[in-house]
Structure formats: structure tokens, C-alpha cells
Structure 1
Amino acid sequence: MLGLTVEVLATETGLPVSAIEALERDGSSADIKALAAVRSVLETHGLLFLAGGSDGTGGAGIRFKHWAENDGIRPENLNATNDD
């Protein structure tokens, strides 16, 4: 979504590449401090983490913090007729 490489994420979090790769494989059993470091970096890059129902329309997920109306089609409006 952001185009960050594992190496860039490792550098920005201060974690080794192997720790980032481990999070990608099994984030549910990951070190909470490593998860917090990754989340912090992703938020710095403009991502917003949503709890289930926190945006009023559904489950947990992520989105960009700043959404401008001219940034394209909102996800809830995607369908076969506007598939380019």
C-alpha cells in the first residue's frame, strides 16, 4: 500500500529484517513491541488503523489518513462498471 520495502521498514523501526519478515509470516504471535514499532512507522507514513466498526461501515482495517475526494474511487464504490 505504501510501497515500503522490508529493508526500509526495518531501518525505520530499528528492527532487524528477520523480525519484519517474522511479523509478515505470523503477526498474531509476534512481539508486541515489534508490532508497535511497525505500526508507529506506518502511521508516520500516513496510514490509519481502524478497529472493527470504528469508521461506521465495517470491520477492522487500514486506510490513508487523508483522503481527498479527487484521489480516485472510494473502496465502497468499486464495482465492475468502473473497473479500468
Structure 2
Amino acid sequence: MITSAQLRGARAMLGLTTEALANESKLPISSIEALEMDVDSKDMKAVAAVRAALESHGIIFLAGGSDGTGGAGIRFKHWAENDGIRPENLNATNDD
């Protein structure tokens, strides 16, 4: 289950406005705002539409740990080899 905090965080990580997310998920802005306040009591079709829109931008939703060592979260998908230089590998010789 996705939480409201995950939805708000994913949208913020991507720098999307509620209007942009509403357009991409084909939902009214009021639905996005409602889901970001309380996802538990909302329409699961709307949740699926928002999730799909955010995942299309490279967001991955993480479930909370079953052993109690971490809550639900979000992150970007893993970098592929051809996605450029990883930040930890940047230096003066490969700075363009």
C-alpha cells in the first residue's frame, strides 16, 4: 500500500506540480490533493493512476520492512550503465 507521504515525496522529488501530476494521471487536481492528504480512504483506481504516472518518471515505491527496521519510502530507479557518469565517479578529468 502506498502512503500519502510517499505520494507527496515522489511528486516533490520530481519537481512536479499538482497540476502536472493531475494532467499526467488524467485526474482532477482535487483528487491529487485528496490522495496526498489521505490515501487510505480513496479510490484505488486513482491511486493506481497516480502511481503509474510517478513510476513513468523513474520513481520506485518501497514497502516498509517486515522486520521493523525501516518504513515505507521512495527512490529513483537504479542507474543503467549507459545513463552517464555516476556522481561518485565525477572528477576533473571527466568534467565536460
- After TM superposition, the score normalised by the length of structure 2 is 0.63
Q: 1:53 Cα deviation (Å)?
A: 3.1
Deviation of 1:30 after TM superposition, in Å, equals 1.1
2: CA distance, partners of 1:69 / 1:60: 26
* Higher alpha-carbon Rg: 2
Alpha-carbon separation, structure 2, partners of 1:24 and 1:52:
18
**Structure 2 match to 1:30:** 42
| Residue in structure 1 matching 2:87, options 58, 65, 70 | 70
1:15 aligns with 2:33: no
User: Where do 5+ consecutive residues of structure 1 fail to align?
Assistant: 72-84
| Runs (4+) off by over 4 Å | none
Q: Distance between the aligned counterparts of 1:47 and 1:36, measured in 2?
A: 14
Does 2:52 match 1:40? yes
Higher relative contact order (CA 8 A, sep 6+): 2
TM-score, scaled relative to structure 1? 0.71
Identity percentage over the alignment? 68
Please give the root-mean-square deviation of Cα atoms over the aligned residues, in Å: 2.1
| CA displacement 1:17-49 (0-9 Å, x = unmatched) | 111111111111111000000000110001011
